[in-house]
């Protein structure tokens, strides 16, 4: 494990002044989307008080948290006011004010993920430099400041351009196959990556607590919707060899250990056709690639996140049944008050679990919910997921 800075070790070793079962702890979440909503649902079982900060009055968390504050998680003073009376402040979105979080940390509030690590994750350029510095396998890359820098770099096509900041849910990523694609290139600070000959995209979720205990969930296999670069569905466990799965877990653990991370980290990976495992990106929070764990695993990613940030023993990540997860995305061409088609048929299927995120307004490719399908094998789970996917549609009311 890499040596941690003294400040980071002091922060992590300080931990909580009392455990979650000695008093009712107060957790503040920056961001009120579906990830926060599912974290709250888990926290209720431990009688933890949850407050949420989000700019949208109708955010998915608004109706189920103990306290909802409408405001910007990018505004310094708003974040300070929100977090200063909390035992722990955590996130469900990376695009937050890290300076404010650092100030809260100085005031004695436990902030996880740490502001320093969050600042690194928010900038894909800093992420890539971290991987290079610690010999973590990732695609070859360079950093450019603007569109002109792409052609002047001599990097060579094909390449993937990623905005250093601000991208999410597939936005801010562009594949440039030749100079003919330059009209689509971003004119902003970016990472350029050599295109990888991808056999499969994988994800490993790792939890680590302040005591240094680490637990990895089984590797999952991701299938993307090429129209918007969003996860369309996943299969768990991934249909890969045991050797490849162990290699993927080892790479994910190396990211956690070399960063000194505490909390829950999703590590998205490429499996190349030559068998290489390469880190694509990381997310320091519950992740779309772990939704299935609510039903398919002994401990869900949300329960594991709470355990990690509260200094509790980590739970078993073992698979109970193979599963698949289908994202419910708003249909193309539909923008308005939401209606769900086919839910009665879906709910009649055995081993199928529907999660709707409480969003009243749909728009094309917006994440509106997900469906988990349990089965006896990954292949069966995928087959059933494809069937379920055809049953349901997310549309606007006429």
Q: Which of 113-117, 224-228, 359-363 has the lowest mean pLDDT?
A: 224-228
Considering the entire predicted model, what is its pTM?
Answer: 0.92
Q: How confident is the model at residue 19 (pLDDT cuts 50, 70, 90)?
A: low
What is the reported pLDDT for 268? 97
Residues spanned by the domain of 35: 6-122
Token reading at 149: 């820098």
Percent of the chain, pLDDT > 90?
88
Of 90, 122, 154, the position where a domain reaches its end is 122
The CA distance from 4 to 166, in Å, is 28
pLDDT at 12 over 60: no
134 lies in a domain?
no
Which single residue is written with the structure tokens 């539909």?
334
Alpha carbon distance 235, 200 (integer Å): 12
How many whole angstroms from its chain centre is CA 336?
27
**Residue 110: pLDDT band by 50, 70, 90 thresholds?**
very high
Domain count, the chain: 3
Could you identify the residue written with the tokens 């009688």? 47
Q: Which pLDDT tens digit goes with each residue over 30-44?
A: 999 999 999 999 999
Residue 373, domain CATH: 3.30.470.20
At 7 the pLDDT is 37
3-state secondary structure (DSSP) of residue 202: strand
> What tens digit of pLDDT does each residue of 202-257 get?
999 999 999 999 999 999 999 987 777 778 899 999 999 999 999 999 999 999 99
pLDDT for residue 8 is more than 50: no
Strands 263-272, 198-208: pairing kind: antiparallel
Q: Are residues 222 and 366 in the same domain?
A: yes
pLDDT of residue 3: 31
**Residue 128 in domain:** no
Q: What is the mean pLDDT of residues 268-293?
A: 97
Cα separation, 144 vs 147, in Å, equals 8
Residues 213 and 69 in one domain: no
202 and 162 within one domain: no
Model pLDDT, residue 24: 78
Mean pLDDT computed over 60-65: 97
Using only C-alpha atoms, the chain has a radius of gyration, in whole angstroms, of 21
**Percentage of the chain exceeding pLDDT 70:** 94
Output 169 or 324, whichever has higher pLDDT. 324
Furthest-apart CA pair in the chain: how many Å? 63
What pLDDT, on the 0 to 100 scale, is given for residue 369? 98
Q: Report the pLDDT averaged over residues 132-141.
A: 97
pLDDT at 343: 97
Specify which residues 359 forms β-bridges with.
none
Whether 171 maps to a domain, the answer reads: yes
Do the domain assignments include residue 152?
yes
Quick one: 217 and 353 in the same domain? yes
Within a domain: residue 322? yes
CA-CA distances (angstroms) from residue 52 to 217, 390, 394? 27, 35, 27
| DSSP assignment of 203-218 | EEEEEE-TT--EEEPP
Please count the other Cβ atoms lying within 10 Å of the Cβ belonging to residue 42: 21
């Amino acid at each position: 494990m890499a040596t941690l800075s003294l400040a980071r070790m002091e922060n992590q070793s300080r931990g909580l002044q009392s455990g979650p079962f000695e008093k009712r702890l107060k957790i503040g979440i920056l961001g009120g989307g579906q990830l926060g909503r599912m974290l709250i649902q888990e926290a209720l079982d431990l009688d933890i008080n949850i407050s949420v900060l989000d700019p949208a009055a109708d955010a998915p968390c608004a109706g189920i948290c103990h306290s909802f504050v409408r405001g910007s998680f990018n505004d310094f003073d708003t974040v300070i006011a929100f977090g200063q009376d909390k035992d722990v402040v955590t996130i469900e979105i990376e695009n937050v004010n890290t300076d404010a979080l650092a100030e809260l940390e100085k005031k004695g509030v436990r902030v996880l993920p740490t502001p320093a690590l969050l600042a690194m994750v928010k900038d894909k350029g800093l992420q890539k430099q971290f991987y290079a510095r610690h010999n973590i396998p990732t695609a070859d890359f360079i950093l450019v400041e603007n569109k002109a820098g792409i052609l002047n770099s001599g990097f060579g096509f094909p390449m993937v351009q990623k905005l250093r900041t601000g991208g999410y849910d597939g936005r801010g990523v562009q594949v440039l196959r030749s100079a003919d694609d330059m009209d689509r290139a971003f004119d902003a600070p970016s990472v350029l990556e050599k295109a990888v000959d991808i056999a499969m995209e994988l994800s490993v979720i790792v939890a680590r607590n302040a005591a240094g205990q680490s637990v990895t969930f089984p590797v999952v296999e991701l299938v993307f919707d090429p129209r918007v670069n969003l996860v369309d569905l996943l299969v768990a466990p991934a249909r890969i060899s045991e050797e490849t799965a162990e290699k993927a877990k080892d790479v994910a653990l190396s990211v956690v250990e070399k960063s000194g991370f505490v909390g829950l980290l999703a590590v998205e990976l490429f499996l190349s056709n030559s068998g290489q495992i390469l880190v694509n990106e990381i997310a320091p929070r519950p992740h779309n690639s772990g939704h299935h764990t609510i039903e398919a695993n002994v401990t869900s990613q949300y329960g594991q996140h709470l355990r990690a940030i509260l200094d509790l023993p980590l739970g078993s990540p073992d698979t109970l049944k193979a599963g698949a997860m289908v994202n419910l995305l708003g249909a193309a061409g539909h923008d308005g008050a939401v209606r769900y088609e086919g839910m009665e048929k879906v709910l009649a299927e055995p081993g199928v679990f529907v999660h709707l995120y409480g969003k009243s307004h749909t728009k094309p490719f917006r994440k509106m919910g997900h469906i988990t399908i349990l089965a006896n094998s990954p292949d069966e789970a995928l087959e059933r997921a494809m069937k379920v996917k055809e049953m349901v549609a997310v549309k606007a009311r006429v």
